[in-house]
Amino acid sequence: MAAALCFATPLFVLFLIVGCAARPFYPLPSKPPEGSRRPLQTTRPYNIAHRGSNGEFPEETLPAYERAIEEGADFIETDVLSSKDGVLICFHDVTLDETTDVETYKKFANRKRTYEVQGVNTTGFFTVDFTLKELQSLRVKQRYPYRDQQYNGKYSIITFEDYIAIALNAPRVVGIYPEIKNPVFINQRVKWPDGKRFEDKFVEILKKYGYRGSYLSKDWLKQPAFIQSFAPTSIIYISNLTDLPKILLIDDTTIPTQDTNQSYSEITSDSYFNYIKKYVVGIGPWKDTVVPVVNNYILTPTDLVARAHAHNLQVHPYTFRNEYNFVHFNFHQDPYEEFDYWINTIGVDGLFTDFTGSLHHFEEWTSNIPPDDTDEKGASRLLHKISVMVNSYRSL
């Protein structure tokens, strides 16, 4: 009898703790008061949700971004293009063909065009030939056939302002990471009043919603944002419009810059880094140019990251994907091994990923920072530990 009482006492205490603690750990859902949102973490590489959580939902859609926030993204990334009537939208390709159902609409059959895009004649249905209303009548679909197709046809294209609202309404501070996409092409095809250009409209919207401040400044930490582009001219132009941090994106070694026609070797040289660091805080290279790949095996890394860091430039490579055909054989088809390699061996400062949850779990599980059991996250961890203990008693 005494043994039974001894067993029951700690069990009762555990249930009492769970019962008392459950309500504070899981508050009723509501928008948190201004200033009470958990701040952006800055102690480990940034988890950048590439087009949202597009490993699960069609890219650049509202649920893809909301899911990425749920999964722990530090930043949600988007590509910004324009409609015919000058409204900025979130969409990756200048053509609609691959990720919408545009070809099923007979009324749009005569909209197919051939334009020169980055020196290549491209045929398709271009965003710049559709008004916002027409674009939002289309439905988005998953880009890759080996990903979940159940959401095809359910969601529409969103505007740049819709995307910003998703970040600002998040229950914690979530940064945005918009790309000025194909600015040369957009400025050729879309005209705004008063001689304004794509970049002007882009920055106007950021300012409208309060985005400002240099990297890690008080204003920036309140509403974090990185601006990215493959076009050096656009980055330099907007440097005169906003002090928000910029990232120069870098394509494959064979592809020159969109606007200045500079080679990969030129824009990754020490002399160019010394020049561009006046305008950017970092670079965003395609990961296979940082660590070359042959027959799906990685080779010896280049010195790109070390040289960028020597110039005080961050490095945010793209794009990390969980599927076996993207995880190189050296990592035994395990994306966690790949994350470990890039964070702890290569030493990058952020990663663009299609699978935000996977990167978040890896960083949480391998964090060297002890959890603070006084905050909401620490409290949730404590509750989980208590629940495990309770379940172990129940199994006896």
**pLDDT for residue 317:** 98
Q: With bands split at pLDDT 50, 70 and 90, how would you rate the model's confidence at 144? A: very high
Task: Report how far apart, in Å, the C-alpha atoms of 38 and of each of 1, 74, 93 are.
Answer: 49, 11, 34
* Mean pLDDT (whole number) for 380-394: 48
Q: Which uninterrupted H or E stretch holds 15? A: helix 2-25
Question: How do 282-285 and 246-250 pair as beta strands?
Answer: parallel
- The residues near 228 (Cβ < 8 Å, ≥ 6 apart) are 77, 177, 178, 179, 180, 246, 247, 248, 249, 284
- pLDDT, one tens digit per residue, over 216-254 is 999 999 999 999 999 999 999 999 999 999 999 999 999
Is the pLDDT score of 288 beyond 80?
yes
Please tell me the predicted confidence (pLDDT) of residue 370: 54
Are the beta carbons of 58 and 152 closer than 8 angstroms?
yes
Q: What is the pLDDT of residue 35?
A: 66
Amino acid at 381: R
Q: Rg for the chain (alpha carbons), in Å?
A: 24
Q: What is residue 367's predicted lDDT score, i.e. its pLDDT?
A: 85
Task: Compute the 3-state secondary structure of the chain and give helix, strand, coil in percent, each to the nearest 5.
Answer: 40, 15, 45
Sign of CA dihedral 242, 229, 76, 186: positive
- Reported as a pLDDT band with limits 50, 70 and 90, residue 33 is low
Categorize the per-residue pLDDT at 12 as very low, low, confident or very high, splitting at 50, 70 and 90.
very low
Mean local confidence (pLDDT), 282-294: 97
Sort strands 227-229 and 246-250 into parallel, antiparallel or unpaired. parallel
Q: Give the 3-state secondary structure of residue 362.
A: helix
Instruction: Report how far residue 387's alpha carbon sits from residue 266's, in angstroms, rounded to the nearest whole number.
Output: 57
* Percent of the chain scoring above 70 in pLDDT: 84
Query: Are 334 and 293 spatial neighbours (Cβ–Cβ below 8 Å)?
Result: no
Q: How many other CB atoms are there within 10 angstroms of residue 275's CB atom? A: 13
Decide if 140 contacts 100 (C-beta within 8 A). Answer: yes
Q: Using a cut of 0.75, tell me whether the model's pTM lies above it.
A: yes
Domains of the chain, each with CATH number or no CATH: 46-367 (3.20.20.190)
Instruction: Say how far residue 285 (Cα) sits from the centre of its chain.
Output: 14
Q: What is the largest CA-CA distance in the chain?
A: 88
Question: What share of the chain has pLDDT > 90, as a percent?
Answer: 83
Residues 264-286 pLDDT 10s: 999 999 999 999 999 999 999 99
Q: What is the pLDDT of residue 394?
A: 44
Residue at 92: amino acid letter: H
Helix or strand run (H / E) with residue 233: helix 232-238
**How confident is residue 381, by pLDDT bands cut at 50, 70 and 90?**
low
* Euclidean distance between CA atoms 361 and 85, whole angstroms: 42
Q: Kind and range of the H or E element at 203?
A: helix 198-208
Question: What mean pLDDT, rounded, does the chain reach?
Answer: 89
* Angstrom distance (rounded) from CA 26 to CA 41: 21
Q: How much is the pLDDT for 34?
A: 54
Tell me how far CA of residue 107 lies from CA of 30, 44, 230, 284, in angstroms.
43, 50, 34, 40
Phi-psi group of 195: left, alpha or beta (phi > 0 → left; psi -120 to 50 → alpha; rest → beta):
left
Contact 75, 177 (CB under 8 A): yes
Lowest mean pLDDT among 73-87, 297-311, 361-375: 361-375
Q: Inform me whether the pLDDT recorded for 5 exceeds 60.
A: no
> Rounded distance, CA 167 to CA 377, Å?
20
> Do the Cβ atoms of 185 and 94 come closer than 8 Å?
yes
Band of residue 170 on the pLDDT scale cut at 50, 70, 90: very high
Q: Is the pLDDT of residue 58 over 60?
A: yes
